[in-house]
């Protein structure tokens, strides 16, 4: 059980922070960047919950559940794997959590028409919030990928798989929030090429 009685400790004033293992590392350490970005994605999930609640209470409820998973991801990344770690002794993301995301993707994608182009963020406030959460989740995934390459024996690869599926789910939910895709804003390649004012006609 976590118990916080004091918010500031001054222990990070030297530019270092403590991992779940007790080790102190610089605040720009790759592991800290990874779980810090997961925290950022979680904050955007919270904004997405508020954006979805009025018209999509089921989506909002799913997102609230996923926020707990993201804290699990952060806790997992915050604590490097020890060589002698006993299975189940640490909070680690499990394959069934990733599978649950795949089930949600399949459930929500079933009612969406196939795409004919890439989707631009837009259409509704809820969809935009979900796209913002998606892009930060993708950034978190890239950082975790780098961390796995840097510390392969000390990082749970399931965290990267989970973040990958979560970003896919957020993309699908962004379309759901746009009236099951009816209000999607589709990319039109080269749309503004050749339009008046797009060429630099200034003279030297």
Is 2 inside any structural domain? no
Best CA proximity match to 77, nearest among 121, 41, 31, 118 = 31
Give me the CATH number covering residue 124. 1.20.1200.10
Is 42 inside any structural domain? yes
> What is the rounded average pLDDT of the residues 92-121?
94
Please state the pTM of the whole predicted model: 0.88
Mean pLDDT of the chain: 90
Is 203 inside any structural domain? no
Whether residue 35 has pLDDT greater than 90: yes
Tens digits of residue pLDDT in 172-203: 999 999 999 999 999 999 988 887 765 555 54
Tens digits of residue pLDDT in 137-178: 999 999 999 999 999 999 999 999 999 999 999 999 999 999
| Residue-wise burial string across 8-39, b where 16 or more C-beta atoms lie within 10 A, e elsewhere | eeeeeeeeebebbeeeeeeeebbbbbbbbbbe
Is 19 inside any structural domain? no
User: Containing domain of residue 141, as a range?
Assistant: 28-81+89-99+120-181
Is 15 inside any structural domain? no
Q: How many domains does one find in the chain?
A: 1
**Residue reference for tokens 């890439």:** 118
Is 164 inside any structural domain? yes
> What is the rounded average pLDDT of the residues 43-65?
96
pLDDT band (50, 70, 90) for residue 122: very high
Burial class (CB in 10 A: 0-12, 13-18, 19+), 123: buried
Is 23 inside any structural domain? no
How many Å from the N-terminal Cα to the C-terminal Cα in the chain?
69
Is 55 inside any structural domain? yes
């Amino acid at each position: 059980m976590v118990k916080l009685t004091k918010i500031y400790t001054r222990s990070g004033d030297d530019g270092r922070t403590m991992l779940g293992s007790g080790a102190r590392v610089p605040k720009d350490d790759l592991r800290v960047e990874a779980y810090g970005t997961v925290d950022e994605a979680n904050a955007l999930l919270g904004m997405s919950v508020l954006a979805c609640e009025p018209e999509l209470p089921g989506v909002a409820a799913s997102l609230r559940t996923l926020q707990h998973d993201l804290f699990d991801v952060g806790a997992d990344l915050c604590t490097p794997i020890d060589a002698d770690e006993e299975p189940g002794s640490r909070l680690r993301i499990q394959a069934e959590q990733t599978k649950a995301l795949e089930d949600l993707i399949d459930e929500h994608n079933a009612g969406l028409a196939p795409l004919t182009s890439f989707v631009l963020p837009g259409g509704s406030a809820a969809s935009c919030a979900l796209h913002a959460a998606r892009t930060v989740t993708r950034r978190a995934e890239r950082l975790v990928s780098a961390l796995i390459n840097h510390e392969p024996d000390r990082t749970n690869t399931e965290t990267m798989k989970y973040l990958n599926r979560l970003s896919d789910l957020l993309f699908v939910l962004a379309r759901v929030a746009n009236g099951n895709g009816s209000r999607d804003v589709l990319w039109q390649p080269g749309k503004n090429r050749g339009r008046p004012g797009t060429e630099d006609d200034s003279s030297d």
